[in-house]
Amino acid sequence: MPLLSKIPNELYSLLRTRFPADADKAELIFACRTDLAPDGRIQESMLLVTRRHLAVATLSDGQWSLTHSLPLVDITGLNVEPLVGASALMAKVDGREIRLLRYSHAVAQDMSDAVESLLHLIGPDGSPDHTEPVIEDPVPDWSSREAHLRTFRRLWAFCLPHWRTLVIAMAVTIVASAIDLLPPYLTMILVDQVLVDMSTYMYLPLIVALLAVSRIVHTGVTVVSGRMLAVLGDRLAFDARSELLNVLQLLPLKYYDMQQTGGLMARIARDAKSIHYFWIDFAPQVIQQGLLVIGMTAVLFYLNWELAFLVLIPIPAIIFASIHIKRYLMWFYGRSWDSWATFFERVNDALAGIRVVKIFAQEKRQSRDMHLENEKVFTAERNIHVRSRTVRPLLAFIVSVGGLLVWWYGGRQVQSAEMTIGMLMAFFLYLSMFYNPVQQLTSMADWIPEMMTAITRTFEVIDSPIEDYTPGETVDVPRFEGRLELQDVNFGYVAHQPVLKGINLHVEPGEMIGLVGHSGAGKSTLIKLMCRFYDVDGGGILIDGIDVRRMDLMQLRSQIGYVEQDPFLFSGSVTDNIRFGNREASREEIIEAAINANAHEFIVKLPDGYDTPVGERGGRLSGGERQRVAIARAILHDPRILILDEPTSALDLETEKKIQEALGRLMEGRTTLAIAHRLSTLRDADRLLVLKNGEPVELGTHEELLNRQGEYYRLVQLHTNVSSIVGVEG
Amino acid sequence: MSFLDPAAIRLERREEQPPTLSIAGDLFFNVKIRQAFPLSFESRYITFFDQEDEYLGIVADPEACDEDTCRIIRDEIEWRYFRPRIERVLEMEGRGGTSIFSVETDRGAVKIPMRDLREGMMELSPGRILITDEHGNRYEIPDLDRLDRRSRRLIRRLI
């Protein structure tokens, strides 16, 4: 999101008068829009930072005023205080806490980013004079109204590689429109000049042949342009989907933390298709129908301008009626969709819960409820059909008014020999072609917002910033030794709400470290930092003495193995899943890995052995089986550093033993960080790091820590009271 | 060593009984033989289980075993894996939500009833199709291109 929001001119001049000293430094470093006034009213406010000052401005009765203004050097701290349903930004000045502003959750992320950037500038150490404005590359804001133009430009950029096809298809479309205008004109010649005189009868076959040719050419041209545009549209939709799919793989994990998978699926499937609709249905239709209207208007005026005026009379009424009828009906369509949705939801519920219904003997009530929904569907559908059967003939009537006017006025002109019968006929033929494009163009206007929204949403994803795979200067580390150092690691998902504080740890190659702590202690977060799903806010993570941020992301991750608590398997065969991290692996290697993971035996007992499809998310395998396939996958991946999140759920003893054995083999010779839940793992670990509220509290072996009788001792006590097998909940 | 040495194993069988396996002199009666990759690599990776269905081992290349052992493995696989190969598709008809294929297979003519075509037809590799009917029986088209034109057309419409 842009840290530099647009600010109103009025506010800009207010700032200039208030901080003239800043004026020569010329600018606002950033402005962040919030949605609550300091007193809690829902009111636009702004956090503004110039080179030397921080200010808060609020809009009150249409007037901007500054509610706070503080020199940056005086601010010794900034922090976000979570409230209920909102947050507050607090500044520390002379040891006092000052409440700067409040904001709702809607702008929380923007504000967190703003505060993070601000920290560089405040206090006596802040260096605003030689700090470049801290502005992230703004991600285009596709949702704004100005974005429509940008969307069009992006659409065009998408089409650019295929411009030749597009130009030819459009040219062919124009030719088709021009040919469309020909038959009525030929008819006029036929009636006025050929059929009136015996001597000109010989031209009849010629005119008919011309008519036939024009129809044939028109058909051919329409087929050609239709096919070209269809291929082009499908190609563009394919391109859009491909770009989306590429980007989706490269987006950072935090993007997914904020999105629902379903929404993304819809974008891939449906929204990308809207680019196809734009080029296939929308653009050619607008051009063709538009040209037809223009062309016919010109021809009508050329033939008889007075009559042409009469033809135009019903046009405003047709446009007006088309728009209103559509909107009027759309409302009823909306009600119908709603009622169908509720109906399906209800029926689905009733069928899925049929056992509960029967046990509670509620069949009759369920039937009654469903019947009520059915009645609502009936009413909604009836409303649509009755109304559309009423309004459409009315529209047809308005259209026919044009015909009546032409009959009346044209007929009189024919009677007075001011116009020929042929011309009158041509007028009628044009008339029948004229109102249809007008109606179509009008109804297209309604598509635009819907289509543009879908197209915009597609670009929104495509243009999201992807992960930084190769930072400026990368250090090449083809194979880690496995020495791991955490140096004063600090991290928070939301700025200034640290989840990890001051973590220091030195791990030798091949050592196994168990991470222990209550739920929310920061164990999983530490693991995410190790995989560089997120970057540390302070300190650093070093592998073999090199900061992970200086490594090529692919190279780093290819040497880290991760066995999740509830491993995710992809739909595909067992083989596909085991060799996920190493596509080149031979069958022998796959089998070896499975044997080492204690998975081979259960796999070969499956009817299709290694070829068995595991189902969506591995659903056809049991929890213990999934675990072992995931361990085999990690073994084959052969990472130098292993990250392990032990499952908390209890499995039967036999499976448990097999998994423990498999993990033991997997950890051999690898530096391992394990979130440990089981006593056996805790005992086997070389050292244990105990975390509490994001801070390291103890480090040592199982025995050492037990003897110390501190936090670890308490956790183990708690755990042995709860269960003798499953370890400390994490 | 995870794989068995083909030279160290030997299978014997008396008439219709399950075979006996000797691994480096140890005898195991009534062994079961399964393929590790029954769909993607049938000729290799053969696994052995004892009569309690405990895993005994795997041999990567059964062709390297002696001739009798090799033959018994083939027979046992043939016995365990019933998957007729479709040679001709005669016709397809829809009956109340179920599609019925009349086909000729290497094991005789049969009618294959299918409820869900999408679920039931799986293309294992280009041209190789596995069909699972509504009862769970499986049929295979080893190479679609080698079927006659009419059969190909009927199948292509569905995949």
CA-CA-CA-CA torsion for A32, A37, A42, A47, nearest 10 degrees? 0
B47, A604: Cβ pair inside 8 Å? Answer: yes
pLDDT the model gives residue A182: 87
DSSP A354-421: HHHHHHTT-HHHHHHHHHHHHHHHHHHHHHHHHHHHHHHHHHHHHHHHHHHHHHHHHHHHHHTTSS-H
Q: What is the CA radius of gyration of chain A?
A: 36
Residues A331 and A406 in one domain: yes
Name the one residue in this structure whose structure tokens are 């000049």.
A193
Nearest residue to A380 (alpha-carbon basis) of A337, A336, A330: A336
| Cα angle A144, A148, A151; round to 5 | 115
Q: Distances in Å between the alpha carbon of A560 and those of A28, A570, B130? A: 43, 19, 38
d(CA A605, CA B35): 9
Mean pLDDT along residues B7-16 = 86
Instruction: Indicate whether this complex's ipTM tops 0.90.
Output: no
pLDDT of residue A147: 65
Of A464, A498, A520, the last residue of a domain is A464
Does a structural domain hold residue A232? yes
Token pair for A307: 């009559």
pLDDT of residue A6: 64
Number of domains making up chain A: 4
Residue A53 Cα distances to A47, A59, A89, A210, A526, angstroms: 11, 19, 16, 80, 36
- CATH code: domain of residue A285: 1.20.1560.10
Q: Pick from B50, B80, B110: which residue ends a domain?
A: B80
**CB-CB neighbors (< 8 A) of A575 in chain B:** 37, 40
Range of the domain at B128: 86-156
A475-530 pLDDT, tens digit per residue, is: 888 888 889 999 999 888 765 567 888 899 999 999 999 998 887 888 888 988 88
In a domain, B148, yes or no: yes
Same domain, B90 and B73: no
Q: Which segment of A433-437, A531-535, A691-695 scores lowest on mean pLDDT?
A: A433-437
A671 to chain B, any CB pair closer than 8 A? The answer is no
| B97, part of any domain | yes
What's the pLDDT band for A3 if we cut at 50, 70, 90? very low
Asked whether residue A367 is domain-assigned, the answer is: yes
Report the number of distinct structural domains present in chain B.
2
Residue A606 in any domain: the answer is no
For residues B106 and B137, state if they share a domain: yes
Same domain for B92 and B69, yes or no, is: no
Q: What percent of chain A has pLDDT over 70?
A: 89
pLDDT at position A21 is 63
For chain B, the farthest-separated pair of C-alpha atoms sits apart, in whole angstroms, at 59
DSSP string, A432-446: HHHHHHHHHHHHHHH
A416-445 in b/e burial notation, b at 16+ Cβ within 10 A? eeebbebbbbbbbbbbebbbebbbbbbebe
Residues A352, A408 within the same domain: yes
pLDDT band for A139, please (50, 70, 90 cuts): very low
Say which residue the tokens 């992809």 belong to. Answer: A570
Instruction: Kindly state whether residues B95 and B61 are assigned to the same domain.
Output: no
Where does the pLDDT of residue B87 fall: very low under 50, low under 70, confident under 90, or very high at 90 and above?
very high
Nearest to A609 among B2, B34, B55 (CB): B34
Q: Which residue has the higher pLDDT, A97 or A453?
A: A97
- Alpha helices, DSSP H, located in A258-312: 261-266, 272-277, 283-303, 305-312
| Residue A85 and residue A102 in contact, taking contact as beta carbons nearer than 8 Å | no
In the prediction, which pLDDT does A604 show?
92
* pLDDT above 90 coverage of chain A, percent: 11
* Chain A residue with Cα closest to B32: A605
Of B35, B36, B38, the CB nearest to A591: B36
Average pLDDT, integer, range A203-231:
88
Whether residue A427 has pLDDT greater than 60: yes
Same domain, B49 and B95: no
Contact check, Cβ <8 Å, A587/B44: yes
Q: How far is residue B76's CA from residue B69's CA, in Å, rounded to a whole number?
A: 10
Q: Are residues B97 and B75 in the same domain?
A: no
Sign of CA dihedral B16, B18, B19, B22: negative
Residues A146 and A203 in one domain: yes
Q: What is the pLDDT of residue B56?
A: 93
Higher pLDDT, A692 or A10: A692
In a domain, residue B1? The reply is: no
Coil vs helix vs strand at A85: coil
Residue A128: pLDDT band with limits 50, 70, 90: very low
Domain contains B106: yes
**In a 3-state reduction of DSSP, which class is residue A714?**
helix
User: Could you tell me if B76 and B90 lie in one domain?
Assistant: no
Say what the pLDDT of residue B72 is: 93
Min Cα distance A607 → chain B (Å) is 8
Closest CA to A601 of A629, A576, A642: A629
- What's the gap in Å between the CA of B31 and the closest CA on chain A? 13
Which region among A221-225, A495-499, A720-724 has the lowest average model confidence (pLDDT)?
A720-724
The pLDDT assigned to A541 comes to 92
B41 and chain A in contact, CB less than 8 A:
yes
Q: Which of A587, A588, A604 sits opposite B34 (nearest CB)?
A: A604
pLDDT in tens, B117-134: 777 888 888 889 999 888
More confident residue, A267 or A466: A466
A541 shares a domain with A679: yes
Edge-to-edge strand ranges of the sheet holding B9-12: B9-12, B20-23, B26-28
Mean pLDDT across the stretch A349-373?
85
User: B67 and B27 in one domain?
Assistant: yes
The pLDDT, as a whole number, for residue A382 is 92
What confidence score (pLDDT) does residue B21 get?
92
How many Å lie between the alpha carbon of B139 and the closest alpha carbon of chain A?
A: 14
Question: By C-alpha distance, which of A308, A298, A182, A180 is closest to A190?
Answer: A182
The answer to whether residue A238 scores a pLDDT higher than 80 is yes
A224 vs chain B: nearest CA distance in angstroms? Answer: 27
Q: Do A296 and A318 have their domain in common? A: no
Model pLDDT, residue A126: 53
Check if B51 contacts A (Cβ < 8 Å): no
- A576 located within any domain: no
Contact residues on chain B for A609, CB-CB shorter than 8 A: 34-38, 47
- Amino acid letter at A270? R
The pLDDT of residue A570 is 85
Query: If pLDDT is split at 50, 70 and 90, which confidence band does A721 have?
Result: low
Residue A103: inside a domain, yes or no?
A: yes
| Interchain contact A654–B (C-beta under 8 A) | no
Do both B139 and B93 map to the same domain? yes
Q: Which two tokens stand for residue B54?
A: 């405990």
Contact A226, A176 (CB under 8 A): no
Q: According to the model, what pLDDT value does residue A213 have?
A: 92
Q: What SS3 class is residue A494?
A: coil
Is residue B18 situated within a structural domain? yes
Pinpoint the alpha helices (H) of A64-180: 108-118, 147-159, 163-180
The answer to whether A72 and A127 are in contact (CB under 8 A) is no
**Residue appearing with tokens 């894996």:** B81
Listed residues B80, B103, B127: the one ending a domain: B80
What is residue A101's predicted lDDT score, i.e. its pLDDT? 86
Phi, psi of A130, rounded to the nearest 5 degrees: -110, 20
Rounded Cα distance, A118 and A92, in Å? 13
pLDDT digits (tens, 9 = 90+) for A76-126: 888 877 777 778 888 888 888 888 888 877 777 777 777 777 777 776 665
A147 and A240 housed in the same domain: yes
Cα three-residue angle B75-B81-B86, rounded to 5 degrees: 105
What b/e string do you get for A153-192 counting C-beta neighbours within 10 Å, with b at 16 or more?
ebbeebbeebeeebeebbebbbbbbebbbbbbbbbbbbbb
In which element (H, E) is residue A101 found?
Answer: strand A96-104
Q: Does residue B141 surpass a pLDDT of 90?
A: yes
Phi, psi angles (nearest 5°) of residue A27: -150, 165
Is there a contact between A125 and A117 (Cβ–Cβ < 8 Å)? no
Please say if the pLDDT value at position A260 is more than 70: no
Whether A42 is in a domain gets the answer: yes
Nearest-CA distance from B12 to chain A in Å? 22
Higher pLDDT: A165 or A679? It is A165
The answer to whether residue A607 sits within a structural domain is no
| B76, B91: one domain | no
Instruction: Give per-residue burial for A268-291: e unless 16+ CB within 10 Å, then b.
Output: beebbbbbbbbbbebbbbbebbeb
Residues A101, A153 within the same domain: no
Average pLDDT of the segment spanning A29-41 = 79
Q: With contact defined as beta carbons under 8 Å apart, do A271 and A455 qualify?
A: yes
Cβ(A691)–Cβ(A521) below 8 Å: yes
Query: For B119, which residue in chain A has the nearest alpha carbon?
Result: A615
pLDDT of residue A589: 92
Does A385 touch chain B if contact means CB atoms closer than 8 Å? no
Average pLDDT of A35-39?
A: 78
A267 neighbors A457 (Cβ within 8 angstroms): yes
For the stretch A430-440, pLDDT in tens is: 888 887 787 77
In whole angstroms, give the CA distance from residue A652 to residue B157.
Answer: 47
Q: What are the pLDDT digits (tens) for A391-421?
A: 878 888 887 888 888 889 999 999 998 888 8
Q: Same domain for A360 and A295? A: no
Residue B74 sits in the same domain as residue B113: no
CATH number at residue A44: 2.30.29.30
Question: Are A386 and A486 contained in the same domain?
Answer: no
CA angle, residues A564, A566, A571, in degrees to nearest 5: 100
Question: Does the residue A614 lie in any domain?
Answer: no
- In the DSSP assignment, the letter for residue A160 is G
Which of A76-80, A233-237, A245-249, B148-152 has the highest average model confidence (pLDDT)? B148-152
Give the highest mean pLDDT range of A257-271, A634-648, A710-724: A634-648
As a whole number of angstroms, the distance between CA B145 and CA A410 comes to: 68
Q: In whole angstroms, how far apart are CA A211 and each of A180, A195, A661?
A: 11, 15, 86
- Name chain B contacts of A607, Cβ cutoff 8 Å: 38
Asked if A587 is an interface residue toward chain B (Cβ–Cβ < 8 A), one would say yes
Interface membership of B35 toward A (CB under 8 Å)? yes
A7 DSSP assignment: -
CA distances from A601 to A606, A726, B49, B81 (A): 9, 25, 10, 18
* A113 and A187 within one domain: no
Q: Of A32, A48, A40, whose CA–CA distance to A104 is shortest? A: A40
pLDDT at A255: 73
Is B40 an 8 Å CB contact of chain A? Answer: yes
CATH number at residue A494: 3.40.50.300
Domain region containing A532: 481-559+666-730
One domain, residues B48 and B102: no
Helices (H), chain B: 67-80, 117-120, 149-156
- A61 CB contacts (<8 Å, ≥6 apart)? none
Which is higher by pLDDT, A302 or A107?
A302
> CB–CB of A504/A487 below 8 Å?
yes
Which residues of chain B make contact with A605, given a CB cutoff of 8 A? 34, 49, 53
Q: A577 pLDDT band (50/70/90 cuts)?
A: very high
The identity of residue A221, as a single letter, is: V
Q: Does pLDDT of A204 surpass 90?
A: no
Which tens digits make up the pLDDT trace of A629-672?
999 998 888 889 998 887 666 677 788 888 888 888 888 889 99
Spatial distance between the Cα atoms of A175 and A643, rounded to a whole number of angstroms: 66
DSSP one-letter string for B51-64: TT--EEEEES-GGG
Burial A639-663 (b: 16+ CB within 10 A, else e): bbbbbbbbbbeebeeebbebbeebb
pLDDT surpassing 90 at residue A374:
yes
User: Are residue A156 and residue A289 in the same domain, yes or no?
Assistant: yes
Nearest CA in chain B to A601: B55
- Select from B48, B80, B112 the last residue of a domain: B80
Average pLDDT, integer, range B27-56: 91
Report the residue of A598, A608, A620 to disrupt the B interface, i.e. the one with the largest count of B CBs within 10 Å: A608
* Same domain (yes/no): A311, A296: no
Residue among B36, B49, B60 whose CB faces A609 most closely: B36
Q: What is the mean pLDDT of residues A606-624?
A: 86
How large is the average pLDDT for residues A177-201?
83
Are A10 and A64 in contact by the 8 Å Cβ rule? The answer is yes
